[in-house]
Amino acid sequence: MSYSTDEIKTAVAQAREKGLERGINFDQSIDIAVNFRRKEMDLSKNENRFKDELVLPQALYPPAQICAFGDGEFATNAEAAGVSRVVSKDEISKIGEDKKTRKSLAKSYDFFIAVTDAMPLVGRYLGQVLGSRGKMPKPFPPQAELTGVVEQYHKTVRIVMRNTPTFHVKVGHVKMSDEEIAENIQAVLNFVENKGLSERVDSVYVKTTMGPAIEIQ
- Check if the beta carbon of residue 137 is closer than 8 Å to that of residue 146: no
In this prediction, residue 27 carries a pLDDT of 82
In this prediction, residue 20 carries a pLDDT of 80
CATH of domain 66-152: 3.40.50.790
List, in order, residues 6 or more apart from 191 with CB less than 8 Å away.
52, 54, 159
Tell me the DSSP string of 4-65: -HHHHHHHHHHHHHHHHHTT--S--EEEEEEEE-GGG--TTSGGG-EEEEEE-SS--SSPPP
* Beta strand residue intervals within 66-173, DSSP E: 66-69, 85-87, 111-115, 138-140, 156-161, 166-173
In this prediction, residue 21 carries a pLDDT of 76
List, in order, residues 6 or more apart from 214 with CB less than 8 Å away.
11, 14, 15, 18, 205, 206, 207
Kindly list the domain boundaries of the chain, sorted by start residue: 5-60+156-215, 66-152
pTM across the whole model: 0.89
Q: Does domain 5-60+156-215 have CATH number 3.30.190.20?
A: yes
In this prediction, residue 2 carries a pLDDT of 76
Collect the ranges in the chain with pLDDT lower than 50.
none
